[in-house]
Structure 1
Amino acid sequence: MLRVEKLNYEVKGRKLLRDVSFQIRKGEVLALLGANGAGKSTLMKLLCGEYKPTNGVVTLHGKKLDSYDPRILARGRAMLSQQQHVSLAFTAGEIVMMGRYPHFKSSPSLTDKEVVNEVMALCGVDTLADRVFMSLSGGEQQRVQLARTLAQVWENPDSLLLLDEPISALDMHYQQKVLAIAKALSRKGFIVVLVVHDVNFAATYADRVIMLKHGRKLFDGTPVEVLNPANIYTVFSVEASVELNPRTLRPYIRLEEMPVDAFKINSKLSTDHLKHVPLKQRREQLLAQDPYLSISEQAEVLRVPEAELWMMDKGRHVNFINQSLESIIPKLSSLGEVSVYTRNACCTQKTVQQYTTAMNDGYAPHISTQSPIVNALRHDLAEWHAGFLVKEVGDEGLHFFDDKGMLIHGLQLCDTSDRDAFCAITAWLEAKQDEKPQFGPSSTAAKHHPQSNNPASQNAKEEIGINEVRKIFAEAVANSAMLEITTMNRGCVHSYIGTIKNLIDQGFRYMIKDDRMELELRLPLVEHIFRSVSSAEEDVLEFFDQHGVLALRISNRSKEKQIATSRSVRGNVVI
């Protein structure tokens, strides 16, 4: 048995491997999966003894690796590394014979020669025995090195066989054959640990899969348990669907196409020719390719302000809000309860509430309290550029945009809204006749919002994965924990304080959905998630977008704040 206990490896203060623990029995194939830099090769080098762990222990058959006699250990553990440096003119046969060095002192025995011939034939390199190793192709060199590795432990079924990317340079036939050899040897007692990048190979040939990210073990289990769309996205940041092969009962992973806009990644490409194609025609072509794109995603691909597509969709049902922007805000309280939303690149937060207005140093806090929740909005009108009042039946509401035409905030009427008040606001706007607003060119430049420098951000933070976030949400539901959920953008900070109930996990999208609050988190657009403990002993999660801007903060309210919130709700006090 191979046992790894709390393994850590650090170089110049940089932790390459953190608290990794697992054990493998004889007869198992373990596949290590993870993106580049996840720590797979570092772990393999610790298992083969090339690196010494900063902390932790590795034992093989109940004995620490560093307590073995090197020659005896070499007969029971062999490693195929990613990179093999051969500078002298050895032949392929001589390279493979090197694997037998632990088994003889001066000259190889008949058994040594038989083993070399057998493994070279198995790896398809027997005809290359007299060829100079450096003259071989990359795939041929890899197969020669595999034969050398196998020769080292060939007759010892208690061996540990470590294969670091053994199929990276091989064609389809030998990729399958190498993994089939590893699996066949495991069935005779070998412990096999291998690193592969193809998740389907891991699903087909491995008995267990460990998925690493940032030097940590995130997932550990059988292929069926571990290889699902959510875990694959967490580790590799790619969309995938997973099906169960009815013949083998093993998962089959089908990767989704990753869309890339050449004009977005290459600033030297000209878009002048697109100016002659009407926006409506370009949009129709885009939706023909992918009809499920949201308006914001369409705007990003078409490189136009999102507001342009809103005007195209709503047409004659729109009243413009431009010069009347500041004047309309106090009128919102007359609408009664409405569905209010705030949006940024990563998420959209919605709450059902009523506006109450109080101006304060350029900010307009619109706050209402209703048991058992507290909602709060804080608007920076300096970042608001224009808005649209939409009067289409069934879709009545107001939607506000920044100067780049990005949607940042809005409201829609609900069953309990005052529609007469909405008609009055519509008549007022029609009488003022605001002009059609103009928006600047779309830009992805990050601009920080007022909350991005919250003191909680200055405490010690630990980056975590979305799977751990899922567990935190599940615990919050189970414990009826009081959470403070704050979504923010350039012009708005939108908070909800209360408990959560319904969790909806769609892989690429994660939702918290209740009667009066909804949070939609778009996972592909979340670049980093940090966890910290604030000075008030609150557990804080911070979600950053791809430009490093804080988009969402979720904190577990302390008992003192929960009591204060409860009192303010019971007394209907505006906070």
Structure 2
Amino acid sequence: MTTHSPADLRRLQAEDTGRPVDLAAKLGLPEAALVLAHVGHGVQRIDPTLGRLIPAIQSLGEVMALTRNRSCVIEKVGTYNEFHDGEHAAMTLDAEIDMRFFPRHWVHAFAVEKETEASVKRSVQVFDAAGDAVHKVHLRETSDLTAWQALKRDLVVADQSDSAEFGVRAPVEPAKAAPERIDALRREWSEMTDTHQFNTLIHRLKMNRLGAYRVAGAPYVRPLAVDAVPALLERVHAGNVGIMFFVGNMGCIEIHSGRIESLKPMGPWLNVLDPRFNLHLRGDHIAEVWAVEKPTKRGPAISVEAFDAEGALIFQCFGLRPEKGGDAAEWAALVQGLPVLAEAAE
């Protein structure tokens, strides 16, 4: 791999008009290396500890929160409110900025200021040990700049070097099933009272999510056609159906609860371009889609879940809860009507 100095990386970024993540891939570097190259040039390292960072971000007021994986980007405008810290998991529970955080993946954090012809763009950017983006927070015109200066002052760390050693990116775990435990899977699935019990269940049975879906069968799961994803978005948009759309990576999950106002496909991208919610989904990355039903105390939780060719989860979509304005029967009917996988229909 060719070694680039921080000065080289700054020059290459100045010449590139695309996304930093794409330039990093082209150079064979983690994205964080591009940010690090600007330390001392509009970028400073800050403390990634959630218990310090999220309250500082909350003080900024209205911002744009961005989370992505390899196939999907979600962007929400709002304020980080009702933060609940935790050793292994944390969360914000605002109606707009609804997040789940997994602290061990928050390793490198930066306060970034980038001058453009029109303005100065400010953001907090967080990366994992491999240098892959975990979460980004972009300030808006209405954000509190006094709080921004306080964030930079209070969270600055002693190490302000412009390079770092990154770990190896963890490979995607392929579908893992245990056929000899199918009966136990189905029995325990039927006994669930909360969707959060599912991860514990499959872990105990030595399976993962996709592996369990592949072997569970009806009435727990139905394989859908890849075309079910654009159909899902189109029908949610056309019917003004309330949804909860989850997009995440190893370090965090960001959730949109509401409706879709503006659907704009462009090439391989399926885009939602609403004033306070944007979604950019690579339709050509979708390899498997499942309709999933889990029992809960409040009735069945029905989701549509998409995976890429390596088995990585791209997104999950649930119906909006009735107490938040959703219609459970409407959502169930919409999912029931999505195109099924041809092999399953035969």
Instruction: Mark yes or no: TM-score above 0.5.
Output: yes
Partner of 1:419 in structure 2?
Answer: 145
SS of the residue corresponding to residue 349 of structure 1 reads strand
Question: Is there any run of 5+ residues in structure 2 with no aligned partner, and where?
Answer: 175-195, 200-207, 327-346
Q: Cα offset for 1:426?
A: 1.6
Q: Cα offset for 1:438?
A: 2.8
Partner of 2:222 in structure 1?
Answer: 461
| Residue deviations 1:477-521 (CA, integer Å, cap 9, x gap) | 121101110011111011111011100101211111211111111
| Residue deviations 1:513-532 (CA, integer Å, cap 9, x gap) | 21111111123433323233
Q: Cα offset for 1:323?
A: 6.8
Which residues of 2 match residues 84-99 of structure 1 at below 5 A?
A: none
Alpha-carbon RMSD across the aligned residues, in angstroms, is 3.3
| Residue deviations 1:240-299 (CA, integer Å, cap 9, x gap) | xxxxxxxxxxxxxxxxxxxxxxxxxxxxxxx5xx34x668769988999xx665322222
Partner of 1:565 in structure 2?
Answer: 324
CA separation of 1:487 and 1:439: change in aligned 2, threshold 3 A: farther
SS of the residue corresponding to residue 125 of structure 2 reads strand
SS of the residue corresponding to residue 502 of structure 1 reads coil
Q: Does 1:470 align with 2:230?
A: yes
| Residue deviations 1:71-121 (CA, integer Å, cap 9, x gap) | xxxxxxxxxxxxxxxxxxxxxxxxxxxxxxxxxxxxxxxxxxxxxxxxxxx
Give me the whole-angstrom Cα distance separating, in 2, the residues matched to 1:413 and 1:358: 22
Alignment match of 1:440 (pick from 163, 166, 171): 166
Specify the code of the residue in structure 1 equivalent to 2:150. A
Q: Cα offset for 1:318?
A: 0.6
Partner of 1:556 in structure 2?
Answer: 319
Give me the whole-angstrom Cα distance separating, in 2, the residues matched to 1:447 and 1:418: 41
TM-score by length of 1: 0.44
Specify the code of the residue in structure 1 equivalent to 2:153. A
Partner of 2:202 in structure 1?
Answer: none
Specify the code of the residue in structure 2 equivalent to 1:403. A
CA separation of 1:320 and 1:359: change in aligned 2, threshold 3 A: same
Alignment match of 1:504 (pick from 264, 271, 280): 264
Specify the code of the residue in structure 2 equivalent to 1:390. V
Question: Is there any run of 5+ residues in structure 1 with no aligned partner, and where?
Answer: 1-270, 568-575
Partner of 1:348 in structure 2?
Answer: 73
Alignment match of 1:544 (pick from 307, 326, 331): 307
Asked if the contact 2:287–2:307 (Cα under 8 Å) also holds between the matched residues in 1, the reply is yes
| Residue deviations 1:9-29 (CA, integer Å, cap 9, x gap) | xxxxxxxxxxxxxxxxxxxxx
Partner of 2:42 in structure 1?
Answer: 317
Partner of 2:239 in structure 1?
Answer: 479
Asked if the contact 1:308–1:405 (Cα under 8 Å) also holds between the matched residues in 2, the reply is yes
Q: Cα offset for 1:424?
A: 1.2
Partner of 1:89 in structure 2?
Answer: none
More contact order relative to length (CA 8 Å, sep ≥ 6): 2
Give me the whole-angstrom Cα distance separating, in 2, the residues matched to 1:447 and 1:284: 36
Which residues of 2 match residues 62-81 of structure 1 at below 5 A?
A: none
SS of the residue corresponding to residue 504 of structure 1 reads coil
TM-score by length of 2: 0.70
Specify the code of the residue in structure 2 equivalent to 1:405. G
CA separation of 1:508 and 1:418: change in aligned 2, threshold 3 A: same
Q: Cα offset for 1:537?
A: 4.3
Q: Cα offset for 1:375?
A: 4.0
Q: Does 1:429 align with 2:155?
A: yes
Q: Cα offset for 1:550?
A: 1.1
Q: Cα offset for 1:391?
A: 2.6
Give me the whole-angstrom Cα distance separating, in 1, the residues matched to 2:262 and 2:84: 33
SS of the residue corresponding to residue 316 of structure 1 reads coil
Q: Does 1:527 align with 2:253?
A: no
Asked if the contact 2:244–2:257 (Cα under 8 Å) also holds between the matched residues in 1, the reply is yes
Asked if the contact 2:89–2:101 (Cα under 8 Å) also holds between the matched residues in 1, the reply is yes
How high is the sequence identity, in percent, across the aligned residues?
A: 22
Give me the whole-angstrom Cα distance separating, in 1, the residues matched to 2:238 and 2:152: 45
Q: Cα offset for 1:324?
A: 5.7
